[in-house]
Structure 1
Amino acid sequence: MSGGMMVGQVSGGGRVIGPGGASAEGVDAVAIGRDNHGVVMTGDIAASFTVTSPGSAEPRPMLPAITVVSVPAAGMIGLPSRASTVFVGRDKDLEVLGRTLSAGPGVITQAVVGLGGIGKSELALQYAHHHSGTYRLVWWVAAEKPEQIQAALAALCRALCAGTAPAAAAQATVEEAGAWALAWLAASEGWLVVFDNVEEIDHLQPYLGRLTSGHVLITSRRDIGWQELGTVLRLKVLSRPAAVALLLQTIGAPAAPDPALAEELAQELGELPLALKQAGAYIVRTPGMDLASYLRLLRTAPRQALAADPDRRSEVGQVVARVWAVTGARIAQVNPLAVQLLELLACYAPDDLPCEVLYGLDGIEEAAVIEALGLLASYSMINQSPNGLRVSVHRLVQAVTLAGLTDTEHAATRATAAELLQAALPQNPERISSWPRYAWLLPHARTVLAPDSPGMISVIGYLVASGDYRTAHTLQQRCVTALHDKLGPEHPNTLRARANLAYWSGEAGDAAGARDQYAALVPVRERVSGSEHPDTLRARANLAYWSG
């Protein structure tokens, strides 16, 4: 309102005095003074008013009473776009929405949460289109910021009043029109309002608390607090067959893509719907681009592939790198440590890193790490195990995060990640009680530790002690190559590593390979260490053993 004041409601009999001598008395009375125009809400219904002081300018036309405004017989649909014709793998999720939003009387609220690009908005749009015939009114609210919510409600007021009081609705302030629309929703039934991409639950509380009927569908990257308002649907990535189908349908039949390559690309993109659609559109619209070419681009230049805008329009904004860049910027404002942790997590294997690995950060309290991980989880950038002890990251989140670092930053972050993991390894790999911990850390060690690092040597020792000679052989081969390149072919460390590789080849079932490796190693040992050196003698003994 402007130029005046409304003095509050009287819940029982009584008298209220307002500015300029305005007064009212009785149950649910309000007093309005000076020039005013807007909506009065007494708790059970809303009414419009216009008050003009003597001698003031011509008043604005008043908004109509909500009781005289109804939705056209054909219904009113206010959606941002048509639903995509390429939509697969979400039938069960649509069924869940349908069951929840028809569960009973009163206002029903359903929140859909998940990682950016997982398909929350598209799911909500599909539901709204599929069920538009069951609602008198369907309205979409871009809800990332509070002012967007208010503007969308004001637009609803103007749409509803277009047939009865268009001038009043046009001249009403955003606040007045938004309040009127909220009052209309509170007094009406048979409507669906979608609040898309809500950033904070507190942005919606002032509105939802005043509604008594209708259906509310919320989408958000934030997975925190929504159970206070209603049920929560946590959207997951697509199944592999659905991901392949989405990719192939986006590319279309004329391209005749290879299904095997499509499955490989779907796996590389982590079955994320936005990334699959982006890749398919880019392949179709880029001359000379095909599945194999895009796969190469994704593996060699992920930043370029994931930031590629297939529509060539900067305002589109719906590409993976940009979606997550916005989220990352918000997280950085709230807690810079969370961004540092995400960069470290991008250096490990995607799944099930024990959180305690991160507790070793220099100068950072464990509680601060836990809080920062909670923030990342609330934005769906990571997933925490039910017990909160392990954390997983989508492989594309890792790729985009690392692609945003300079070479120097990447090297420093990877070095820190390796130090943290090495410090988390148990000291004695041969002790059986340490094996479960080594098993949890193995995929992360293979990802981040240097092949010839002390930590990797410990990991190989665990594999040998636990009888996994095949994996030990694979990692030892990388160790030998690294030592050969770093120290030279005849350095003692390189020769010892070659001896171990030969022995574990035999233990892994390749006796002939072990024999041949020892046969090549013995003359080198004799020349470098002498014929009577213990290492030379062991090499001869093992040559005889594996020769049978």
Structure 2
Amino acid sequence: MIRGWWHCRFGTLRRMSETENVRNDISGTVENALQVGVVHGDIYQSGVHQHHHHGQRLEWPCRVGVMPPRANCFQQRDLSAMLTEATGTGGTTPLSHVLAGLGGVGKTQLAAEYARQRWGDREVDLLAWITAGSREAIVSGYAAAALKVGQNTNTAERDDEEASRRFLEWLETTDRRWLLVLDDVQNPRDLNELWPPQQPTGQVLVTTRRQDSALTQLGRRIEVGLFTPAESTAYLHAKLADRSASAAGAEELAESLGFLPLALAQAAAYLNDRDLTCSAYLRRFADRRRLHELVPESESLPDAHRTTLATTWSLSVELADQLAPSGLARPLLEIAAVLDSNGIPDAVLTSPAALAYITARSGRTSPVRADDVRDAAHSLNRLSLATVDPDDPHRSVRAHALVQRATRDQLTEQHLAEVARAAADALTETWPEIEHDAGYGQILRTNTDTLRINAHDHLWNPRCHRVLFRAGASRGEAGLAAEAVNYFRHLYDHTSRLLGPDHLDALAARGDLADWQGEAGDVSGAITELSELLDDRSRVLGPDHLATLATRSNLALWRGRSGDVAGAIEEFEQLLTDRCHALGPRHPHSLTARSNLALWRGEAGDAAGAIAEYEQLLTDRTHALGHDHPDTLATRNNLAHWRGEAGDAAGAITEYEQLLTDQTEVLGPDHPRTLTARNNLANWKGRAGDVTGAISDCQLLLTAMLEVLGPDHPHTLTARSNLANWKGEAGDVTEAITEYEQLLTDRSRIQGPDHPRTLTARGNLAHWRGESGDIAGAITEYERLLADRHRLLGPDHPRTRTTRDNLAHWRGNSDAAAITEHEQLLADRSDVLRLDRPDTRT
């Protein structure tokens, strides 16, 4: 019987006496509240449910995540009893266990069996199974769990980091009994700030291949080793139960296979499909002793068992290759062997390049189809050589790292080069031009990184494969500019070592390195790098080469962004002359030079000159490229912007509305350039005085960007900045401060503390603190921002001067040097998405 029980947070709740009617007085902000009168019997069978304050109906007990199905002929190993005994009795449990050991020894199955037992015995209220192969996966799993237990109150913004934090807070404060399984932790660093709290009502179970001391410190480590001889024999007898006579020799076979569960599973499948006895298998096994040189990674298998898995794989893949569609399993496994073991997208394995390779290696005269490859993947799955998940197209095929290693070791260097190039072509073909799905982009980058390692140096023969450049650009386009800088620095070093520092690909890597240095906030570093690159490209390629001219364009652009607007104008004027001379006045690169020149004339204060140049440029681009060409649409975007800057806000709004209609029709509603037009239209509505319309448009735009680009994309962060700004302009200063505080945290995490957009967020936050009445806080933040902008940009950069003026304003020196025009303040606080970027990334 339960009387008057509740669970609440953040608020004051008064409970009346048991003789009174059950009524609670609640004050403050209450996140969850449950009131129960008198309950007889089992609480779960009494129809008692908790209701979240957002209307979500919570039911207990509950599960999060999908556990793997129970293995066929699962063995109740000694470790199963050890884990159960370690749990203790009388309601006490150890805080955490770490199941550590070689991949393939059954850690996940042991964890799943233990979890099922506790769930079946109703010893837990929450069972959460989290696939923990990466930090992103852990955060995503926590976010899903937060939603399930009613703690994800921010689902509209899809802020998984915030949701995961809420889930960890819930674990720390809840009275519920919970079991959290973190399956397949790849790196202890992934659990930094994500390790669940140690609570008497909760238990954590980790499975991992790692043996790091950091994991041992987090919980009691239980080493998961090989099957015992008795377990191995029992397993084989169970698998061969329908053909009991075939089990003769099971003890000898188990010993020959080193009692490794994965090897036994493969062998049992081979036995059943070939209708062989254990003794017959042993004879074939002995015939393949020439494979004794196949040695897995040293940390994966003990010395006594080094040849076991490789030999078993050799026999199993031959059988898989004979299954319908015959001849395809082996070449498919070869491609999978050079990619990420944690998941390979279906699109990569069924791309034209992959199909062409598999067709050639299979010896077929007719082309292999995508469905044939999927069937071949299921053949590998049958022989335990791969795991197929048709419900996850981004990670549809997973291959054990030992199987991959054994497969690669079978390849000659020439064959490995062919596989590597085919896999690289497949990744390139399937890489979307615009990464709408941030998670998919990360998977493609991880597969490319794995390929680069496994392919040795074959991706640089005869030239650096373009997928290596695409993987770097993908990082920057996802907002990871600092990561892109590191990537291209390593790519240049490796390319220079293999191909020489003057090779076209080495020079191209330097160009990308410089570009992303600038995007990451190191504008002076970008200028220095581009200046040196210009000298080298002029020497190697000549002054009129397209790549040399592109370097001049990029150098001029970053000079402008550094604050040297006059220098940018001068360089673009000379570049325009040289491009017209070398390429002609109607060449796309010449038109791009005109666009950049118009931009910097506008930035210099000549808005009318910028408008005149963009109007003529629009006529020429329309004539040369057509109305619907992206460059033509970009020109219309920039023309509308400068109309507004010249004082014609209504004209800017009219042009943006028409541009938005046309871009939606030509590019689609989810194209980043369409979203850019929506962003700029919203801003000009606000600047024209329609703040309510601006807020409405920004809210709709943010929803679209979260869905299309994800929460961490730079454009999404910009949409959040603009929404916060217009909320402040509408008078909701407190909300503006709250949103800018969270935005600053996210920009620092994603783009880095010195990124220009991060500095802008700091300036915005300081401004609204001052508007809220916190003058001292505004002054303090502006002082710190001024020091950082002085350090990063120098004393004469426009942004540095603006910060200095804002600081003077809040200090009260408005008569001396403070900003006097509201438009200047507004321009510094709102983010306009333009379409002017460096000419080319060669």
TM over 0.5: no
TM-score by length of 1: 0.42
Higher helix share: 2
Higher strand share: 1
User: Higher relative CO (CA 8 A, sep ≥ 6), structure 1 or 2?
Assistant: 1
